[in-house]
Amino acid sequence: MMKQIQWFPGHMFKSLRQIREKIKLMDIVLILLDARLPKSSMNPELLQIIKNKPTLILFNKMDLSDESILIDWMAYYEDLGFATLKIDAQSGKNVSKIHDAAQKVLIEKIERNREKGLKDRPLRTMILGIPNVGKSTLINQLSKSSATKTGNTPGVTKAQQWIKLGNDFELLDTPGVLWPKFEDPNVGYHLAITGAIKDKILPEDDVVQFALKFLQKFYPNRLKERYGISIDLDYVEMLDTIGRQRGALLKGAEIDYQRVYSIILTDIRNKQLGGLSFDRL
């Protein structure tokens, strides 16, 4: 079994410090999760930092997830008091709904400001999430690829550089943040399977073995449909079958296992086995 992974480059310490310092400037915080990994892609450190700050959780890559499982996770976070929205930053699906969802969270504050005679202004926000969860893609969608650094926002230190996203948001960007170590080994595997952490962090053989066992348990028909393999095969037999089927062979007709690993992980990440959800309630 996998040992605890230590994964916390120096810039991530700096990022957490910046988040703590800037959180008070935000009207609302957007937390971006991988819809396939609603638990594994949630950094518990962030929940400690944001505390009572108005928050909207965005479940990105919705089309890569198992919709029925995703709905359960959205209900789970809503029960904890968070507003939620499923999106796909790559295609832009539901991205246009983010501003209205954020305004709904802030409706009482907005109405109080209007009663005071204050004009509506862009919402100040930061998008928080682990690396490779799709932050840059979402920012490009929100800005329609025309994000511009604004000048000095009133009430904000001159050193602050904000990015104007259309007329709706002013964004203070932050790097992605993982946590110091994964207490639950499954979290590391889930992040590795979906490509959230570099493939070299964990042995690829271990990651693929975990993935195939997971698919055998929760999505056996997908395995059969994609690779024509029986669910009662052992790990090596599955690799050999997929390798021969896909022509992943070395000289002498030996299986090229590295190519088989790549085939399986690429298929999972590109939805060739359908929408998958790795975190379960």
How many domains are there within the chain? 2
Digits of tens for pLDDT over the chain (281 positions)? 444 555 555 556 677 777 888 898 899 999 999 999 999 999 888 888 888 899 999 999 999 999 999 999 999 999 999 999 999 999 999 999 999 999 999 999 889 989 999 888 889 999 998 888 898 899 888 887 555 454 444 444 344 568 888 788 899 877 667 665 667 889 889 999 998 887 777 899 999 999 999 999 999 999 999 998 888 899 999 999 999 999 999 988 899 999 999 999 999 999 999 999 999 99
Does 216 share its domain with 156? no
Does 113 share its domain with 60? yes
Does 44 share its domain with 134? yes
What pLDDT, on a 0 to 100 scale, did the predictor assign at position 13? 67
> Burial letters for 36-64: b for 16+ Cβ neighbours within 10 Å, e otherwise?
bbbbbbbbebbeebbeeebbbbbbbbbeb
Q: For residue 196, is it within any domain?
A: no
- Give whole-number Cα distances, 134 to 32, 33, 267, in Å: 8, 9, 19
Q: For residue 106, is it within any domain?
A: yes
Distance, in Å, from the CA atom of 220 to the CA atom of 212, rounded to the nearest integer, reads 9
Could you list the residue range(s) of the whole structural domain that residue 236 is in? 203-269
Does 167 share its domain with 222? no
The tokens for 30 are 């957007």
Does 76 share its domain with 124? yes
Does 260 share its domain with 156? no
Q: For residue 115, is it within any domain?
A: yes
Distance, in Å, from the CA atom of 204 to the CA atom of 281, rounded to the nearest integer, reads 26
Dihedrals phi, psi of 63, to nearest 5 degrees: -75, -15
Q: For residue 61, is it within any domain?
A: yes
The pTM assigned to this predicted structure is 0.88
Q: Tell me the percentage of the chain whose pLDDT exceeds 70.
A: 87
What pLDDT, on a 0 to 100 scale, did the predictor assign at position 145? 52
DSSP SS3 for 112 = helix
Does 105 share its domain with 226? no
Does 137 share its domain with 89? yes
The CATH code of the domain that includes 208 is 1.10.1580.10
Residues 92-103: pLDDT tens digits? 999 999 999 999
